[in-house]
Amino acid sequence: MRFLGSVLVASAIVLGACGGGEKAPATDAATPAAAPAPAAASAAAAITGTTHEVKMLGDEKGYRYEPANITVKAGDGIKFVFVSGGPHNVAFNVADIPADVKDQLNANMGPENMAELSSKMTMNPGESITISFANIKAGAYPYHCTPHLAMNMKGVITVQ
């Protein structure tokens, strides 16, 4: 019995010592090939028309965009300017944006987006966010300020 116990202890030590170190990656014929790369994202389209200005405000009158509802032509841009009561951003509800517009609008919002269809956050008065509506089809696009959505800071951009 004593001999069997010694063999078990010695086996455990040997197996433990062999278990360390780096392992080579397993190669298995059943391993699936790498997934194809996602389709290239849309490139930002430059503003070719008028750049309109919308103020982002938070004061005794509440949190709001001025004007909240604005009509632009395809190719125009909107410069959202932080005036007071921030932080502010410009965000579109992903479910409200048509699938064939989503990638282009996201690209047109710029490379500093916080998330899909959600601009960077402006923290100080005078900071701005400019969004191009070039290559965006006609329609109504509801938008909002993420930190102030519960305070009804929202509007609609209509592209003609």
Percent with pLDDT over 90 in the chain: 74
Where residue 78 sits, what CATH number does that domain have?
Answer: 2.60.40.420
pLDDT digits (tens, 9 = 90+) for 34-48: 444 344 458 999 999
At 38 the pLDDT is: 40
Q: Is 18 within the bounds of a domain?
A: no
- Residue 56's domain comprises 51-159
Q: Is 77 within the bounds of a domain?
A: yes
pTM: 0.74
DSSP state of 88: B
pLDDT digits (tens, 9 = 90+) for 70-96: 999 999 999 999 999 999 999 999 999
Number of domains in the chain: 1
Q: Is 67 within the bounds of a domain?
A: yes
